[in-house]
Amino acid sequence: MKVTFLGTGDSCDPARKNLSVLAEDHGRAHMLDCGFSSTHGYLARSAQTKLDTIWISHFHGDHFFGLPQLILHFYMQKRIEPLSILSGTNGEEKILSALHLAYPELATKLSFSLNFIELQPGKTHRHNGLAWQCAPVIHSQSANGLRISNGSSSLYYSGDGKATKESIELMQNCDLVIHEAFSLNSSAPYHFSIDECLQLAENLSISRLALVHLNQETRQIINASATVLKRKENTEILFPGDDEKLIV
């Protein structure tokens, strides 16, 4: 599985696109979150990839307001293949409302179908070549972490929010854990921190941990000091930038 970080920033970081990840496997491409600016990260690579699936972790603008623009792009490109959009509850209603506000009547003109699928925590849904599992995380609105697997490799993607017992279970034995680390320590009520991520890595023996969605102050501290973090034993700690690629 090839992973490309289309964006790694928080909601208003001028130097990074909104958090979004592209996972490609066996000829299929799957986009995890699609915020205001993360759409541009995908469009820069659209000649090389055909998007099959989009996952929305929650319905804050920096995680799904890029969808109307992306759907418009596919319409203008005369796409005919169905597009699957996976999320937690009420995804279809929220996404179609955003699409109508951005481009009224576009949904009635599409030459391809939008297939909305609601994932249920605790259940595995097999779709477009992957096994999809979600679990609730603690955020300021309903939000879910996600595990995807092709049978031989797997990754966990947190979206935003503090880890829960259920989401931690999904992280176990993943080849790559992508987790938001908004602050250095656990000072934010609805976001995870670098310290908490490192503790998880130790507790779960995570082999590769990619920390994303750092707020601007935290990112500047990390960039300015090579001694802020030490490599954890048996865990590779990554701070990926936009358009950085990994093989899982």
Residue 182: give its domain's CATH number: 3.60.15.10
Per-residue pLDDT at 227: 46
Catalytic residue among 10, 33, 62, 175: 62
| Nearest residue to 181 (alpha-carbon basis) of 221, 127, 133, 152 | 221
**Which whole number is the average pLDDT over 192-215?**
95
Per-residue pLDDT at 225: 62
Does the annotation count 52 as an active-site position?
no
| Nearest residue to 213 (alpha-carbon basis) of 170, 158, 145 | 158
In this predicted structure, which of 14-18, 165-169, 171-175, 218-222 has the lowest mean pLDDT? 218-222
Per-residue pLDDT at 186: 84
Per-residue pLDDT at 220: 86
pTM of the model: 0.95
Q: Domain of 79? A: 2-247
Q: How does strand 208-212 pair with strand 244-247?
A: unpaired
Tally of domains in the chain:
1
